[in-house]
Amino acid sequence: MRTLRIGYFSASPILALARAHGLFARHGLAIEAEPVTSSPAQFSSLHVGAYDLVLTSPDNVASYRFGTDNRLGVRVDVRIIRAVDGGLGLSLLGTHGVRCVDDLRGRVIAVDVPDSGFAFALYELLATHGLRRGTDYDIIAMGSTPRRAVALREGRCHATLLNGGLVVAAETAGLVNLGRISDVVRPYLATVLAATGQWLDTHPVIVRQFSDAWQQAVTLLLAAGADIDPLLADVFRVPATGVPTIRRVLHDPAEGLRPARPGHAVRAGGGHRGHAMNPEPVHLTVNGADHDVDCEPDTPLLYVLRNDLGLTAAKFGCGLGSCGACTVLVDGRPTHSCDTPVWSVAGKQIRTLEGLGDAARPHPLQRAFIAEQAMQCGYCIAGIIVTASTLDRGLDEAQVRAALDGNLCRCGAHNRIVRAIMACHD
């Protein structure tokens, strides 16, 4: 299981639903997500590799990627890999006694930081009511949205922007919603998923798997019925009576979740390798036959072999390049097809177990494995025979065992497997 670490400002219903349904585990991924209180903390963790991904705002990405004066003092090569939501009800809430925007003249309004995307949206909202920044109200920086919600409740500011369950909680407590950001700034993108370019480039298959699980969760979330109400109540920390409001916000085209447009799945590398959004077919040569396959270029080779070409000898074991069940030959070299993006093997010679031999004309190794009864369940065997087919003759047992170090067998058939290979090479 590969663990991905994610830093977020507000708990994500998408992550929660994906976890609840085992969508990440299905791809061999475990998610460790933790809240962060500030963008410098979030981006420094991303920069040093303590986080693989962040749920953040697009202006943070711009600031840390391009700004020479960001609060880390260094540029971070961070890329947006997908839009997440439009603010989830992002609204200006006033403290007790504030009944309308005009009541904020001369008062203190809390922002995360004065130059954030949230803050600029706030200034715009206030401007539509005739309140000018620097003249008609004072600004105070108070950090993340949950912190500002506490400050509002305690009267340490007179108004601030809140979203999601915090709006529901504030309204339930009798505070007045003075205006929604989506009414004045449209289209508005509040949350994005981002990672460093280096991480995206070096983990194309994991990005793809994560993206698939994420998209499944978004689709499930938008299609779900009342069965997920307890999950929504938990994530947004609202009572059951607040869940219908949350549900409305999630589905709101302006403020809610951003489903991927058809054909626009997130791809590894954040698309910055220049792959077309509607890719050309990928040309593959497998077992001597040519194929043009319609697929995303970052699709793992294993998926294409099994699902598109019907070559099912190679198996999905770990999906992480650790077990060898998916081994095929690429230009004669044993290769884990589970974490090999298909674009990287276009034009190369790919050989699977089916290309080594079949029931009518078995490869000498296949004959030896049958003679030695070297399989138990057989799940690992295709990868093992493919790997063994590249070994020189004359190796001793220790050398054969060392050569098969990357091919795991859960059934404990190792001794028979090694005997079969040695017999074949005699």
Q: Which two tokens stand for residue 200?
A: 């995206």
Pattern 314-353, binding to ligand FES, x per CB under 6 A?
A: --xxxx-xxxxxx---------x-x---------------
User: Could you give the angle at the alpha carbon of 173 between the alpha carbons of 168 and 176, nearest 5°?
Assistant: 75
Residue from 147, 252, 378, 395 touching ligand FES (CB under 6 A): that is 378
Q: Is 205 an interacting residue with respect to ligand FES (CB under 6 A)?
A: no
Find the radius of gyration of the CA atoms of the chain. Answer: 27
CB of 261 to ligand FES, least distance (A): 31
Residue from 379, 401, 423, 425 touching ligand FES (CB under 6 A): that is 379
Among residues 159 and 342, whose Cβ is nearest to ligand FES?
342
Q: Which two tokens stand for residue 168?
A: 């529901």
Among residues 94 and 319, whose Cβ is nearest to ligand FES?
319
Q: What CA–CA distance (Å, rounded) separates 334 from 313?
A: 14
The answer to whether 188 touches 59, Cβ cutoff 8 Å, is: no
Q: Is 365 an interacting residue with respect to ligand FES (CB under 6 A)?
A: no
Cβ-proximal residues to 212 (8 Å cutoff; 6+ apart), any chain? 27, 265
Q: Is 413 an interacting residue with respect to ligand FES (CB under 6 A)?
A: yes
Q: Is 78 an interacting residue with respect to ligand FES (CB under 6 A)?
A: no
Dihedral pair phi/psi, residue 423, rounded to 5°: -65, -40
Among residues 191 and 387, whose Cβ is nearest to ligand FES?
387
Provide the terminal-to-terminal Cα distance of the chain, rounded to the nearest Å: 39
Q: What CA–CA distance (Å, rounded) separates 104 from 175?
A: 14
User: How far is CA 330 from each of CA 3, 83, 334, 347, 378, rounded to the nearest angstrom?
Assistant: 28, 36, 7, 10, 22
Among residues 45 and 322, whose Cβ is nearest to ligand FES?
322
Q: Is 410 an interacting residue with respect to ligand FES (CB under 6 A)?
A: yes
By CB under 6 A, which span of 186-194, 197-205, 241-249, 407-415 interacts with ligand FES?
Answer: 407-415
Q: Which two tokens stand for residue 2?
A: 């590969």
Pattern 279-318, binding to ligand FES, x per CB under 6 A?
A: -------------------------------------xxx
Interface residues with ligand FES (CB under 6 A) are 316-319, 321-326, 336, 338, 375-381, 409-411, 413
